[in-house]
Amino acid sequence: MMNYSPREPWNSAVTVRGLGVRRGATQVFDGLELEVPRGSITGLLGPSGCGKTTLMRAIVGVQKIQDGSVKVFGVPAGSTELRNRVAYNTQSASVYSDLTVEQNLRYFARLSGAPVSDVDRAIAQVNLQAQAKQTVGSLSGGQENRVSLAVAILGQPELLVLDEPTVGLDPVLREELWGVFRSLADDGATLIVSSHVMDEALRCDRLLLMRDGRIISDTTPQGLLTETGASDPDRAFLALIERDHA
């Protein structure tokens, strides 16, 4: 089994040290350590059940932990001062289907304390101006995902934690959504995007590859391919698994 040593970026959005999490009889993490650099897209990739969602819940402060620490912008995850600095977009829909896009955004803006003027910006940033007056229930799956993303970016949070936001989408819709992610990062936000679709690794700036509750590689898209000598991310991940067992 190979040893993993996290990098220590000068400017980290998230720092995880010695994280231990147990869910029922299952030890999900035992001493997990990692860093997430600011102002970039970090892909959290790995097969279903490897611990991606549990890690994201720990980062946003809603996961009970046994040991270790999770800090976001230098303070403990879940701290009150992070309320408007961190946004979490779960796999399940977080908007109301019987309200219009605009009504959803106005409602969540009031809850979060974001200015009403931010509603138009968020709708424009996810390219839903033409659908603003439509009910969410009348939208496509990809458009509904973008409404949830618009809710998440109200108030312009510094860290966006997105749990498999492209799952079940066709290639065109995935391409559109990744375009939105890139524009957010270009504007200075930090994004953590989880996926079990390995070709999405090539769209990220940095990669954390997980397996069985462990980080088996902290790298870049090009570094992943170079390190393994593989021609695509799927083969690269399989090569890492084989090395991990060696």
Catalogue all structural domains in the chain, each as residue range(s) with its CATH number.
12-222 (3.40.50.300)
H or E stretch including 159? strand 159-162
CA 60, chain centre distance (Å): 11
CB 65 within 8 A of CB 52: no
Nearest to 206 by CA among 216, 221, 195: 221
Whole-number mean pLDDT of the chain?
A: 89
Tell me which residue has tokens 């869910």. 23
Which segments of the chain have a pLDDT < 50?
1-10
Give dist(CA 108, CA 116) in Å, integer.
Answer: 10
pLDDT value of position 246: 63
CB 20 within 8 A of CB 67: yes
pLDDT tens digits for range 14-37: 999 999 999 888 999 999 999 999
pLDDT value of position 2: 33
- Token pair, residue 15, equals 């720092």
pLDDT value of position 141: 80
